[in-house]
Structure 1
Amino acid sequence: MDRHEDELERALVPALQVAVVGGGWAGLAAALEATSLGAQVNLFEMAPQLGGRARSVQTDGLVLDNGQHIMIGAYVETLRIMRMVGVDLKQAFLRTPLRLLDASGDGLVLPGGHPMLAFARGVLGRRGWTLRERLALLQAATGWMLRGFSCPDGMTVGELVRSLPAAVQDGLIDPLCVAALNTPSRSASAKVFLRVIRDALFSGQGSADLLLPRLRLGDLLPSPALDWLMRSGATVQVGRRVERIERSGTWQVDGRAFDAVILACSAAEASRLAAPTNEAWAAQAGALGYEPIVTVYMRCDGTVLPEPMLVLPSDEETRPAQFVFDHGQLGGSPGLLAFVISGAAPWLERGTDATRDATLAQAKELLHRHLKAPPVHIRNLTEKRATFRCVPELDRPAGHIAPGLIAAGDYIAGPYPATIEGAVRSAIAAARQAVSAERMAPPAAPQ
């Protein structure tokens, strides 16, 4: 068969009908991948906009992100699908070697070059630590490497690093842990933390690079993905909640037939929809615990911070935020600052006003040398279920629910915590599984 006959034969075969439930980054990635593989995709999103927990919202005449989503060079699949839909990565991100600096200029900066040598040079040159503290971190990291970045399943990050000096724990480990796992180090999984450290810091040149968005989250993927999907013949419905999924010869989504269904919605929604098909999977997905993230937006006219992103000393008593972002340096409104509170459950219990007041006090205390005007509170944006609680020996659900019914999302079993890259990778795997499984499936027996 020549190429033209092969193309004709493929053109005559009806496209696989794939439903994607959920229009966050996992749902968009699944829809993009399935469409690129030749499937006819219908995407259903119950919210009025796409983007899920990484979206933009409009408030008081400003477009604000509902969180500050840092990406790194190791996010290879996320960056691939962004390029696929036409995003110019050089314009979309400020890309720099890893820089975790505080308001005084102290912190870790990784130079370019071989990852291991860059890490060693960065630690040895780290300002603000004694030589003993720097050597202690290098010794610990060498031990992690020699052990293949593995540890007992039940170990917490706090237990993993308890021999390290307090300055190293407070100045590096705790901020890295809460940024990557959104779970305090005293209860976070050391196994997952070590996997993140391995892939981010030691997997290849540029893997640890910081990619700070210069665009609002809606413009990084949701808007260009929607345009790409519509041009490619996919159907996208927002404000449309799927009520029921069942198997009756084919998969039925609210009575409409599909060859395969990808549940890329929240774990709670996926649990509800999967329960009639697989009660055990639904119970597992429904049992996950969560950690919130609060973003406190302030305006400080005339202010330019020393870095687009600064690490802030934090605690659960008086200093809520672990990071602050200067949007004026990232293509946004000059003087707009975003303070990020990860693992924010203790502050949610105290309430919005207490969180706002404590963050304002923290800003005045730690950034007073850089503020050109008193900070004015704009708004708190809260994601109560920002990520699952990444604790040791967490039993996360598999992507497979039933033949032709597959789940995707950052909570699906895998080596990574709840990150955009984890969500995208699971979605791509789900799309490939859905398409390949249907293509290889034998024809249905006549009734």
Structure 2
Amino acid sequence: MARSLTPASRRVAVIGAGWAGLAAAVELVDAGHAVTLIDMASQPGGRARSTPSSTLAAQDNGQHILVGAYRDTLAMMRRVGVDPDTVLLRTPLSLRDPQGRGLALGRGPATWAFAMGVLRWQDCPWPDRFTLLRMALSWRLGGFRCQPDRSVQAFAHGCPASVYQALLEPLCVAALNTPASEASAQVMLTVLRDALFGGAGSADLLLPRVPLDALFPQPALAWLTQRGVSWHPRHPVRCLRHDPGAGWQIDGLPPVDQVVLACSATEAARLAQPWAPHWSALTQAIHYQPIVTAWIDAPATRWAAPMLRLADGPAQFAFDLGALGGPAGCYTLVASGAAELAAQGAAAAGQALLDHWQRVFGGGARLRSVRNEKRATFACTPGLRRPSMQIAPGLWAAGDYVDGPYPATLEGAIRAGRLAAQAVA
């Protein structure tokens, strides 16, 4: 049912129905604006969606996880009628490997849970545990700030190898999708502040029990269309014009007062170029990092946890889909920040991940499918210049790549969408 508009209402087009675009549309509708939602794909979700496949009933566009610190994402899910406690499996952060080695946190206040987890980290030598606690205290006393040009690897100079390899390095590649030698230490500190040292449960892992479509995109689209949003799937925007008297014109659709570009950075740069060539050039200069995901059938394999940390191979993490509501005996291996692996092509990358599986878990496994996302996220490097939210008067950008303190995550996308919608008002 369409909502009644007020004299202060604006006609707003949101181009792109990924998580940022959907969040922007929800925020705009709640503020009383008339929204047109456009996407070149046939379904919402962008880079975090599900699609039918020949091997799975619904295959996600890569393996995604959330953490308890994703407060805007969880709040947005609730706004569109999704109960996070039902669709997400919440567990305390565990970075243990298949042999049970590694850091695992308990429940309770975040700082206490972290300190106790470190003290109980049995396979980490006592001197290294105390060094980690001293380092964490120095991060906190320093306001979780560092020189903007420092990489995670350089910032961690002097960190014990046991801590670096089992904690900082895997957390870095998981959160920033950028190798520690190239990743921004400042962004990493921001992630550590909000997750490991945020409120109670902020470091918890939130693992999807349902396909990504059901997690947010489809419920959000249903919520929007029920409130009168005009939805235009399979509509790649060819031309964006501005008439000072009539507003923004988009491919013959009814004119609008303002536009939010929530499409990919590449598409946003193309559409914005006539109005803001400097913004477009800055956006086009962004570099990207790949993620390679392999789905593996291993019916005889059994784990004690739904997620494991891996080492000595291309993949950093593995997930038990059977423990998350998926097919029993099906697992995913994820290689983040894996430029060399992705460059080999999907077939070779899939074989490399299967080989990694067999070295760790033994034979009896079969590669079901592989996804090679060569431009999965922006490369989160030190001193990265990211484009601003405002492109030109009446023209805004929403996406995880827009200037902000966070890496390319679902939370970053949701926040960018909400901020762009609030700026429209």
Shift of 1:348: 1.5
- Aligned-partner Cα distance in 2 for 1:231–1:100: 42
Counterpart residue number, 1:29: 23
Match of 2:255 among 257, 260, 272: 257
Counterpart residue number, 1:393: 383
Match of 2:200 among 181, 200, 205: 205
Counterpart residue number, 2:212: 217
- Aligned-partner Cα distance in 1 for 2:418–2:39: 18
Residues 258-296 of structure 1, C-alpha deviations (whole Å, 9 max, x = no match): 011000001100000000101000111111000011110
- Give the number of equivalent residue pairs: 418
User: More displaced, 189-198 or 54-63?
Assistant: 54-63
Residues 320-361 of structure 1, C-alpha deviations (whole Å, 9 max, x = no match): 110000000001100110100101211022232332222112
1:358-373 correspondence runs (5 A): 358-368=352-362
Shift of 1:37: 1.1
Counterpart residue number, 1:158: 153
Counterpart residue number, 1:300: 298
- Aligned-partner Cα distance in 1 for 2:5–2:316: 54
**2:351 aligned with 1:357:** yes
Secondary structure of the structure 2 residue equivalent to 1:261: strand
Match of 2:364 among 374, 378, 387: 374
Secondary structure of the structure 2 residue equivalent to 1:377: strand
Q: What is the Cα-based RMSD across aligned positions, in Å?
A: 1.3
- Aligned-partner Cα distance in 2 for 1:275–1:414: 22
Q: 1:186 to 1:302 in 2, by over 3 A?
A: same
User: More displaced, 127-136 or 271-280?
Assistant: 127-136
Counterpart residue number, 2:163: 168
Structure 1 unaligned spans of 5+ = 1-9, 437-447
Structure 2 unaligned spans of 5+ = none
Counterpart residue number, 1:134: 129
Secondary structure of the structure 2 residue equivalent to 1:196: helix
Counterpart residue number, 1:431: 421
| 1:303–1:334 Cα contact (<8 Å) kept | no
Match of 1:270 among 268, 271, 279: 268
**2:115 aligned with 1:120:** yes
Residues 78-115 of structure 1, C-alpha deviations (whole Å, 9 max, x = no match): 11111111112111000111111110111211122222
**2:233 aligned with 1:243:** no
TM-score scaled by structure 2? 0.96
1:274-293 correspondence runs (5 A): 274-293=272-291
> Which letter maps to 1:409?
G
Counterpart residue number, 1:330: 324
Secondary structure of the structure 2 residue equivalent to 1:135: helix
> Which letter maps to 1:253?
I
1:11-26 correspondence runs (5 A): 13=7, 15-26=9-20
- Aligned-partner Cα distance in 2 for 1:190–1:179: 14
> Which letter maps to 1:413?
D
- Aligned-partner Cα distance in 2 for 1:294–1:45: 25
Percent identical among aligned pairs is: 48
> Which letter maps to 1:325?
F
| 1:284–1:397 Cα contact (<8 Å) kept | yes
1:407-426 correspondence runs (5 A): 407-426=397-416
Following TM superposition, the consecutive aligned residue runs of length 4 or more in structure 1 with deviations greater than 4 angstroms are none
Q: 1:360 to 1:18 in 2, by over 3 A?
A: same
- Aligned-partner Cα distance in 1 for 2:63–2:55: 19
Secondary structure of the structure 1 residue equivalent to 2:255: strand
> Which letter maps to 1:46?
M
- Aligned-partner Cα distance in 1 for 2:318–2:60: 14
Counterpart residue number, 2:41: 47
| 1:23–1:51 Cα contact (<8 Å) kept | yes
> Which letter maps to 1:170?
Q
